[in-house]
Every structure is written in C-alpha cells, then in structure tokens.
Structure 1
Amino acid sequence: MRNYDLDFLKHFSMVIGFLVVVTLALLLFANHLNGVIPPEVSPTAQRATQARIATAGDVYAGATGAASQAAASAAASAAAAAQVAYGGTMDGSVIFSNLCTGCHTSGAGNAPTMDKAHWAARIAQGTETLYKHAIEGYNGPDGGIMPPKGGNPALSDEQVKATVDWMMGNLK
C-alpha cells in the first residue's frame, strides 16, 4: 500500500518551495529595476518642492552681505511705493472723489458734509488736530466715526494731509 498523504505533502511542499523561489526572484528583480531606472519627477512637482523648501529670509553678515542687504532694502522700498494708494498722487480732489466723498457728501456715520457750518468747531481746533484725526481716526462726541486714513491704510500721511487741505479749501 502506498501512502498517498506522504506523496501529497512532498508535491505540495515542492510547489510551495517553487512559489517562494519565484517570489524572491521577482522581488530581487524589482529591486534591481528600481535602482537602475531613475525616478521621473514632473517639472511642476519639482518647482513646488523647491518653493516649499526655499529659505524664508536671508542673513547678512558684515561687509560681505552689505550689497545684498542694500538690494533687498531697495526692493522692499520699491514694493512699498507700489502699494501707495491712487498712484501716490498728492491731488486732494482725486483722493476725495475716490474715497471721502461717500461719507462727506451724504453725512454717513455723522461725517461733516462740505458745509462751513459743519466744520467751524473742527477748524477752530487747528489743522494739526484735523490731520491727526484724519490719519489716526476719530470717534466724535456726537457718535461720528472717522476711520484711520478714511479706511484706506495704503494712503500715506502726506496724501491724507493734502486731502484735508483740499477739503478745507473747498468748503461751501
């Protein structure tokens, strides 16, 4: 009599052993291919990675970084100048018609309109006070609200002063 179970186990063990050898061979071949073929990185992904790992700032040490520091300062000044409202105009009428007219012609927020009667008490305080209230903002005793720089922080102090001067010269 033959032992069929023993024959089955021998053949099954040989099949399992063969499959293990094939699996190991495939793993080694895949590892070899991974080392031989360079990874393909898209230019978009590469730029995104470079932007993500770029330094946040620069360090300027001694005289070696003086030129770089001067260039960075000039670039920052140019960027700040580009942020000035209304192209940096000092024409008070342009700024008034684009920004101030909404409140100072309708009286919104208890803003004084362009009548001398509304400005008499304010003018008596002096132009420096008017400038200060226009630049820093002001909450009046009558509930009137003047936002800093008329609500446009991109205005320079000189632009605000020019606009206040234009308004004082054009009261009715």
Structure 2
Amino acid sequence: MIVAAGLIGLAAWVYSKHPSPDNPSKAVKVAERLAPVGGVHAGESGRQAIAAAEEEAKKAAASAVAYGGTTDGSVIYGNLCSACHGSGAGGAPKLTDSAHWKERIALGAETLIKHAEEGFTGSLGMMPPRGGNPALNDEQVKATVEWMISQVK
C-alpha cells in the first residue's frame, strides 16, 4: 500500500507540472451560453433599434446569393421553381401546360418578372416573392422567368 500511495503521489506531482491544454472552443461555448437571448426595445429608440435590425437582416439576405450566383434559368428552375411549376402546387401553371401560360405570357415578360420578384396573388393561385427564396437576386429571377417563357413557346 505504501508503494501504491507513493506512485499515486508521484503521478499527481508529474501531472501538476504538465497540465492538459484547454480546449480552444471552450471560450466560444461559454460566450454562446452567456450571450443574451433577446433584447428589450421601448419608445422611439426601440423603434429605431428594431428598424436597424431589420435593415441588417435584409442586407445579410441580399449578400447571400442563391445557387452560387448562377443566371442559368434551367438550374434555378430545377432547384426551386419545379417544385410548384412541375406539380401545379398553389395554382402554379405547369411548365408543360401551354394553355395556362399563353394568357400569362400575353401580359408581357416585364409583368411576369415583376410578379416573380415581388410576388403575386390572383384568382387562380399565388406566386411567392422570388419563388420563396429571398436570396435570389433580380438577374437570377429575370433569367429564370425568361428561360421558362422560352420553354413554353
């Protein structure tokens, strides 16, 4: 027992001279746990803080470009638009249904692009703004609408 106690004492002394390094992510995890969950905003300064936060969120969404920034309408259609325009969900005209597209194409490409950018609700269905993906930029929306029109004709 004396030998065991001596070995334990020796191991404790050696370990105290060479402590294990701290985990580098420990400080990050502690900071995340201590970060405030929300904020309280009141009065005019509160409205300004909320407006500033909303503006920051819009800028962050605008800086994240969808699908690597491609302007290939077929790629964007395949990744996003085909969910509704392939199945007819939400009253969306199917890409293969030229009868429903003719009356829409008669409105003009600029109108269709505007509806795709801003969203549209009509008697036959609805189109969410930017197809439901706010990361799409104007060029991507325009390229996709033009590609879809070329596929219907």
> TM > 0.5 between the two?
yes
What residue in structure 2 maps to residue 168 of structure 1? Answer: 149
TM score, norm. by length of structure 1 = 0.53
Aligned to 1:154: 135
Distance 2:29 2:93 in 1: 54
Q: Percent of aligned positions with the same letter in both sequences?
A: 62
Q: Indicate the residue corresponding to 2:91 in structure 1.
A: 110
The DSSP-based 3-state class of the residue aligned with 1:128 is helix
Structure 1 residue 100 and structure 2 residue 81: aligned? yes
Q: Distance in 1 between matches of 2:130 and 2:144?
A: 10
Q: Secondary structure at the match of 2:87?
A: coil
* CA-atom RMSD in angstroms: 2.9
> Partner amino acid for 1:119?
W
Q: Name which structure has the greater RCO, CA cutoff 8 Å, separation 6+.
A: 2
Higher-Rg structure is 1
Relative to 1, partners in 2 of residues 1:123 and 1:45: Cα closer, same or farther, differing over 3 Å?
closer
Instruction: In structure 2, list runs of 5 or more residues that go unmatched.
Output: 1-21, 36-58
Distance 1:45 1:99 in 2: 39
Q: Distance in 2 between matches of 1:90 and 1:46?
A: 38
Alpha-carbon offset, residue 45 of structure 1 = 5.1
Distance 1:119 1:107 in 2: 12
- 2:105 maps to 1:123: yes
How far 1:102 sits from its partner (Å)? 1.1
Counterpart CA distance in 2 for 1:126 and 1:87 is 28
Residue 164 and residue 80 in structure 1: after superposition, are their counterparts in 2 closer, same or farther (change >3 A)? closer
Letter in 2 for 1:120: K
Mapped partners of 2:104, 2:144: distance in 1: 15
- Paired residues for 1:37-48 under 5 Å: 44=26
Question: Deviation of residue 105 (structure 1)?
Answer: 1.3
Hey, which bits of structure 1, 4+ residues long, moved more than 6 A?
A: none
> With structure 2 as the length reference, what TM-score do the two structures score?
0.59
Matches within 5 A, 1:11-160: 44=26, 81=63, 83-114=64-95, 115-142=97-124, 144-160=125-141
Matched residue count: 106
Name the SS of the counterpart of 1:170 in structure 2: helix
C-alpha distance after superposition, 1:14-67 (max 9, x if no partner): xxxxxxxxxxxxxxxxxxxxxxxxxxxx88559967xx89xxxxxxxxxxxxxx
